[in-house]
A and B are shown apart, each in its own frame.
Chain A
Amino acid sequence: NAGVTQTPKFRVLKTGQSMTLLCAQDMNHEYMYWYRQDPGMGLRLIHYSVGEGTTAKGEVPDGYNVSRLKKQNFLLGLESAAPSQTSVYFCASSRGGTGSMNTEAFFGQGTRLTVV
């Protein structure tokens, strides 16, 4: 059982380059999330999705775009990378939302992105 898988695990980008981070979950979860983790700041929500074909902005969405064309995949795109986007990115999924009992979020292993 793979759970939540993120690709790639590491990446170095030059300022202005673009890239897409892929998140795949095999638990048939409805909800998926992208967080970034910076030292001393915990995890901050970038974008999230409540189901296939839906996306919504989180706390820090600027500079990122997302797509959820298939229920099992959630893509995070950086159109023009900036040094401020150097971070560790985590994808997560959950079966239900806060109003349900299935609120546990399962996280991937993370993608360490450096923008130079």
Chain B
Amino acid sequence: GENVEQHPSTLSVQEGDSAVIKCTYSDSASNYFPWYKQELGKGPQLIIDIRSNVGEKKDQRIAVTLNKTAKHFSLHITETQPEDSAVYFCAASIPQAAGNKLTFGGGTRVLVKP
């Protein structure tokens, strides 16, 4: 099955700096790559996603890039703010007849220092 590796496991940045989280996946058939943000005591929430027919996608201060050849994708957060502090998860999904079985990375705990 699919395996997703995520790095780093923790990331501390100064407010205003950029943060980059990288993920690799094993199954070349994966075609959907969402990123989730989990705040303390809450469930994960989708912040951005990308499909395999797109190389990059931006939404305000966040962007995701996908390199299908190398089987890796990255989350970029620019001009970080204290409210960006959270755990971030990448995930990958293989097309299936039914369901949306996401395989998650291990998570990155991001701390933005004021």
Contacts and interface: CB of A to CB of B under 8 A. Distances in A.
B89 interface: yes
B93 A103 contact: yes
A74 interface: no
B31 A104 contact: no
B106 A40 contact: yes
A42 B43 contact: no
Contact of B96 (A41, A44, A97, A109): A97
Nearest to A42: B104
Nearest to B31: A98
B89 A42 contact: yes
B106 to A, nearest CB: 5
Contact of A40 (B43, B44, B100, B107): B107
B99 A105 contact: no
Contact of B32 (A43, A58, A103, A109): A103
Interface residues of B, number: 32
A107 B45 contact: yes
B contact face: mostly helix, strand, loop, or mixed: loop
The range of chain A's interface size is 20 to 34
Contacts of B9: 40
Contacts of A107: 36, 43-45
B42 A109 contact: yes
B105 A98 contact: no
A56 interface: yes
Contact of A45 (B6, B102, B106): B102
A43 B104 contact: yes
A105 B89 contact: no
A105 B89 CA distance: 13
A61 to B, nearest CB: 12
B101 interface: yes
Contact of B106 (A4, A41, A56, A103): A41
Closest 5 pairs between A and B when the two form their complex, measured CB to CB: A107-B43, A42-B104, A50-B98, A43-B104, A97-B100
Interface of A: 4, 31, 33, 35, 40-45, 48, 50, 56, 58-59, 90, 92, 94, 96-99, 103-110
